[in-house]
Amino acid sequence: MAQVRVEIVGPVATLVIDNAGKRNAVTADLWQQFEPLLAGLAGDAAVKVVVLRGAGQDFSAGADIADLDRILAGPGDGGVMTQAENALATFPKPTIAAIDGYCVGGGWELAGACDIRICSDRSTFGITPSRLGIVYPRSGIERVVAIAGPAVAKHLLFTGELVDAETARTWGLVTKVLPTEGFWNAVAGFAGMLAGRSQYSIRAMKEIIDAIMEGRGDLGAVVDRWQATASDDRAIGVEAFLGKRPPEFTWGSGVQ
């Protein structure tokens, strides 16, 4: 049965897109599962980082074309696709798209909504609305322009061309290309490293960066609010640095 599964190991939660036999194509029902699952993880203090991946050999081949009418029939531009994308983009904790195999169309829309994108060296990327005669959702277009710039966005959207992992890195679609062998261990290590950093620092800087990118008029207020937020993490970090030992940050864990 096609589903988005949640797997939690320590402070890292993994959302797994699982649609066996269809390269994890995302049906209307799957798109609708993201918002409630992410809401639950946002409220779980034990979860510090979320990884998004596909089951098996592929991240996602995109929206299930056989279900496209239902997918696009939802409210607003892009229907349930945009709702899922926005739920990821506005998730308050750090998110990592761990991409292996195909990441195409709506699969890229989900990956693009994550904070950080890492891929294996066998990954393939594409944004393919021009092959189908449809218009990519506005939010997805805005996001790829923000990530890679208008020239790359136009190339991908106009041509529907599939590009390899190194091209994706060169174009700014991902920040790291890792060997396929050992890829998932490397992803787990990276997610664990983020979980061990100060969540006060990460959460604050994530919101500030997003406010900058959105051109929000309340940027100054966002910065001031975070600077005024009580946190023991600075004292913990400084003490650990001077003592030459790893810090054990407490902000967000219920321990202050």
Q: What CATH number should be reported for the domain holding residue 85?
A: 3.90.226.10
Shared domain check, 228 and 125: no
Expressed as residue numbers, the domain containing 70 is 3-195
Give bridge partners of residue 52 from the DSSP assignment: 15, 97
The pLDDT score that the predictor gives to residue 76 is 65
Tell me if 254 is assigned to some domain. Answer: no
The pLDDT score that the predictor gives to residue 77 is 67
Shared domain check, 108 and 154: yes
Shared domain check, 181 and 214: no
Low-confidence ranges of the chain (pLDDT < 70): 74-78, 254-256
The pLDDT score that the predictor gives to residue 80 is 86
Shared domain check, 77 and 66: yes
Shared domain check, 237 and 191: no
The pLDDT score that the predictor gives to residue 145 is 97
The pLDDT score that the predictor gives to residue 75 is 63
Shared domain check, 115 and 226: no
- 119 CB neighbour count, 10 Å cutoff: 30
User: What's the CA gap between 33 and 40, in Å, rounded?
Assistant: 11
CB burial of residue 66 (10 Å; 0-12, 13-18, 19+): exposed
Shared domain check, 202 and 123: no
User: What pTM did the predictor assign?
Assistant: 0.94
- 227 CB neighbour count, 10 Å cutoff: 8
The pLDDT score that the predictor gives to residue 256 is 38
Shared domain check, 160 and 62: yes
Shared domain check, 147 and 238: no
